[in-house]
Structure 1
Amino acid sequence: MEHPQTLPAAPGYTLWQLVLYMLRLGALGFGGPVALAGYMHRDLVDTRQWITEADYKEGLALAQLAPGPLAAQLAIYLGYVHYRVRGATLVGIAFVLPSFLMVVALGWSYVRFGGIGWMQAVFYGVGAAVIGIIAMSAHKLTVKSVGRDKLLWAIYLLLAAVTVVTESEIAWLFLAAGILVWFLRAPPKWLGGAGMHAAAAAPLSVPALNGMDASLLVQIAVFFAKAGAFVFGSGLAIVPFLYGGVVTEHQWLNDKQFVDAVAVAMITPGPVVITVAFIGYLIAGLPGACVAALATFLPCYLFTIIPAPYFKKYGRLPGIIAFVDGVTAAAVGAIAGAVIVLAKRSITDLPTALLALVTVLLLWRFKKLQEPVIVAGAAAVGLLVYPLLHG
């Protein structure tokens, strides 16, 4: 018998309010998946109270367990919470569309004017400020999700260390963390676990489409669908996969073009994975950008809305709550580790270290300071300082 508390509460907001919020976040949200997940928690859980803490944690856990870009999946799940498939679909489109349009515009200018020389200077400043932004987001998520729980802290620290050492996110460790907390906090009366095994195996059931001898757009669709279906974690995790296929295997881009593509994703708001649209544009123009973006985000959309009803129906059971707590601690630990990995790439000298530190201090002191203001200031600093140091 289904308990009354498993039924969704009446939403205190309209679907269009949520769509407009996601449209704004997609247009102004800098810092990659860590920061975007932090913004959603701050705005939708703490400030507006549209989403409950439990729903947010379920969404974060599902986003970590399923392959694909974390921030986009979390946004899609939050759209699903009260407005089901229609909400998930509209929220997903609203979240991705602004950065897609920006990246396509940059792709057009890159092709027309032969490279983006100013980008290195902008990224020099923005990359350092972004480290400060995501460090603050990771801190807030840690305080909220882990608290003083010693078991969750142990999982958090282990995943942070693994992420720093391997520079990747190991999917099975999230699952293992959830199972460990489940067995310790709410041990099942029997170890039948068929439903859990089915959920874990679901992403693996997607066929690996290899060796298709077809048009360039079909090749792009197949490759980027695999990228969306088989890469776990953040935009950080998808970059090595993209490099192996785009540069090494297919030789669609050279090294410099690929590095520029990643830089474009970092200096534009929204999900880092939107770099696929820039890459697609360089390969095959606007059709290539559309096909690459659609092929990448479609699997993550399906991997979110298909398991979502089961998360909603069984999410209040003690065993599921314990499992989600374990996965969430692992996810936030991996996010904290990703901050360190990204910092090693973005903080290269004294000016960038100072930029990151000043960003943290500003966000700590001025709680309502908008991140786009910091990003714009950092870009200006980069344009001034980078030519002096690397002229």
Structure 2
Amino acid sequence: MSTAQTDTPGSGDRTAREEPSSEQGTLTPFTLGELLLYFLRLGSLGFGGPIALAGYMQRDLVERRRWISKHDYLEGLALAQLAPGPLAAQLAIYLGWVRAGVLGASLVSLAFILPSFVMVLALSFLYVRFGGLPWMQGLFYGIGAAVIAIIARSAVKLVRMTLARDALLWVLFGVSALVTAWTESEIVWVFLASGVIALLVKAPPRLKRPPATLSMLAPWLVTGLQGAADTPTLFKIAVYFAEAGAFVFGSGLAIVPFLRGGVVGQFHWLTDQQFLDAVAVAMITPGPVVITVAFIGYLVAGPLGAVVAALGVFLPCYLFVIIPAPYYRRFAGNRSIRAFVEGVTAAATGAIAGAAFVLGRRAIVDVPTVLIFLGTLLVIVKVKKLPEPVTILVAGFVGWGVKVAVGR
């Protein structure tokens, strides 16, 4: 890394960023403030999911502005893939760490996540206030079918990216998909077992000797669909969404089956339709897809629930970046770690496919929703440059039109 990117004091972790980027020549000097403005804009306008957001960062920061070296970008992308949590958010956090250590990582995470959080908070308020109105029900009638098409398409793309012709990964994918579809929930132990199986088969470890070594709050702050939430509910929200952030790998959509298992099946906080609406809200807003947790938190426990849910899911991914970042290059190429992650990723991809089946049975219920589903699938496959939020909103208005036409 050139001196242009090390003029802001970090936190004692400069050794991981001192290499020059000879493949790019001299990098362009920039300030931390400029980087924060960039991520504020990306969080406000960046649509398309984690892969698209990562692509924007490469295009803007590596190729056009030349602020970040290709070497640092690729290492950040690899770390984001290795660690559990939302890929795009972790990559952004790592690039902030490259620029200014823990301070940079912290400020970039806020700049990137805050815009979509505010948007989701506003949509949550409108949903709780007006969710029973026919026009909003009509919109989500069409949006639900479109979201299933997008989830199914994402599962297919992830299969191509992560499984290739690896027979073991295909088996892990199939088992996870069947378990998710059969149980209608995502089981963490399936993920962990898949990682361990892949590790034992692909990179069997050598045995070594182990080394020594809420009553004062205003009611509206915690009021969701079912009224004011109590302290135990807020605690459950914090713990559950922290688990989601700590155990979900890869695409932001990988969190969907995990969340449904708890939010709908275990705690019965939301119905299937309300949960699908939450996923839809995340898809029509910019920024990381996992911001759907804020919408869910709001529906359960009001604005404070949204804050607790967002902190719960993003704090683990933040820690999974800033803690290993100074030492990352020592273990980035470790075969055992990569084998474990490959197994977990295969299971996560299978869970997404299973979740598409489970949610699809609730959202695709009649001829109009079947047609909206097939039409959306055709559009996203054939029209490559059409933003997904536009597709979802069009489907919503089609659904609203159907509801008006049939008078229900």
TM-score normalised according to structure 2 size:
0.69
Alignment correspondent of 2:88 = 75
Q: Could you tell me how far apart the structure 2 residues matched to 1:7 and 1:361 are?
A: 48
The answer to whether structure 1 residue 62 and structure 2 residue 83 are counterparts is: yes
Q: For the structure 1 residues 313 and 262, does the alpha-carbon distance in structure 2 shift closer, same or farther, using more than 3 Å as the test?
A: same
Q: Could you tell me how far apart the structure 2 residues matched to 1:19 and 1:147 are?
A: 38
The answer to whether structure 1 residue 341 and structure 2 residue 358 are counterparts is: yes
- Counterpart mapping for 1:135-154 below 5 A: 135-154=152-171
Query: Higher mean Cα deviation, 216-225 or 360-369?
Result: 216-225
The answer to whether structure 1 residue 374 and structure 2 residue 391 are counterparts is: yes
Alignment correspondent of 2:5 = none
Alignment correspondent of 1:209 = none
C-alpha displacement at 1:146, in angstroms?
A: 0.7
Name the % identity. 40
Match of 1:298 among 298, 312, 315: 315
Q: Could you tell me how far apart the structure 2 residues matched to 1:55 and 1:105 are?
A: 32
The answer to whether structure 1 residue 178 and structure 2 residue 191 are counterparts is: no
- Counterpart mapping for 1:158-307 below 5 A: 158-190=175-207, 214-216=215-217, 219=231, 221-231=234-244, 232-233=247-248, 234-239=255-260, 241-242=262-263, 260=274, 263-268=277-282, 269=285, 274=291, 277-278=294-295, 286=303, 289-291=306-308, 293-295=310-312, 297-303=314-320, 305-307=322-324
One-letter code aligned to 1:386: K
C-alpha displacement at 1:60, in angstroms?
A: 3.8
Identify the structure with the greater helix proportion: 1
C-alpha displacement at 1:362, in angstroms?
A: 1.7
Q: Could you tell me how far apart the structure 2 residues matched to 1:90 and 1:295 are?
A: 17
Alignment correspondent of 1:384 = 401
Q: Could you tell me how far apart the structure 1 residues matched to 2:387 and 2:187 are?
A: 33
- 1:196-233 superposed Cα distances (whole Å, 9 cap, x missing partner): xx9xxxxxxxxxxxxxx754569265333212223454
Q: For the structure 1 residues 6 and 145, does the alpha-carbon distance in structure 2 shift closer, same or farther, using more than 3 Å as the test?
A: farther
Q: 2:140, 2:396 within 8 Å by CA — same for their partners in 1?
A: yes
The answer to whether structure 1 residue 359 and structure 2 residue 380 are counterparts is: no
Q: 1:26, 1:98 within 8 Å by CA — same for their partners in 2?
A: yes
Q: For the structure 1 residues 182 and 265, does the alpha-carbon distance in structure 2 shift closer, same or farther, using more than 3 Å as the test?
A: closer
C-alpha displacement at 1:387, in angstroms?
A: 2.9
C-alpha displacement at 1:267, in angstroms?
A: 3.0
Q: 1:182, 1:319 within 8 Å by CA — same for their partners in 2?
A: yes
- 1:15-50 superposed Cα distances (whole Å, 9 cap, x missing partner): 8679746854665647xxxxx345446656799886
Q: Could you tell me how far apart the structure 2 residues matched to 1:300 and 1:245 are?
A: 24
Q: Could you tell me how far apart the structure 2 residues matched to 1:130 and 1:102 are?
A: 19
Query: Higher mean Cα deviation, 227-236 or 271-280?
Result: 271-280
Q: 2:241, 2:293 within 8 Å by CA — same for their partners in 1?
A: no
One-letter code aligned to 2:347: A
Match of 2:335 among 318, 325, 328: 318
Which secondary structure does the structure 1 equivalent of 2:333 belong to? coil
Q: For the structure 1 residues 166 and 351, does the alpha-carbon distance in structure 2 shift closer, same or farther, using more than 3 Å as the test?
A: same
Q: Could you tell me how far apart the structure 2 residues matched to 1:191 and 1:390 are?
A: 70
Q: Could you tell me how far apart the structure 1 residues matched to 2:365 and 2:378 are?
A: 19
Q: Could you tell me how far apart the structure 2 residues matched to 1:273 and 1:344 are?
A: 22
Q: Could you tell me how far apart the structure 2 residues matched to 1:372 and 1:380 are?
A: 12
Alignment correspondent of 1:89 = 106
Q: 1:155, 1:326 within 8 Å by CA — same for their partners in 2?
A: yes
C-alpha displacement at 1:355, in angstroms?
A: 1.5
Q: CA RMSD in A?
A: 4.1
Q: 2:90, 2:317 within 8 Å by CA — same for their partners in 1?
A: no
Q: 2:275, 2:296 within 8 Å by CA — same for their partners in 1?
A: yes
Alignment correspondent of 1:330 = 347
C-alpha displacement at 1:148, in angstroms?
A: 0.9
- 1:253-301 superposed Cα distances (whole Å, 9 cap, x missing partner): xx78x96576255234355664554566567765564455445543453
Alignment correspondent of 2:252 = none
Alignment correspondent of 1:206 = none
TM-score normalised according to structure 1 size:
0.71
Q: For the structure 1 residues 116 and 20, does the alpha-carbon distance in structure 2 shift closer, same or farther, using more than 3 Å as the test?
A: farther
- What 5-or-longer segments of structure 2 have no aligned partner? 1-14, 64-69, 223-229, 249-254
C-alpha displacement at 1:373, in angstroms?
A: 1.9
- How many positions carry a matched residue from both structures? 352
Q: Could you tell me how far apart the structure 2 residues matched to 1:28 and 1:347 are?
A: 29
Which secondary structure does the structure 2 equivalent of 1:348 belong to? coil
Q: 2:172, 2:194 within 8 Å by CA — same for their partners in 1?
A: yes
Structure with the greater relative contact order (CA < 8 A, sep ≥ 6): 1 or 2?
A: 1
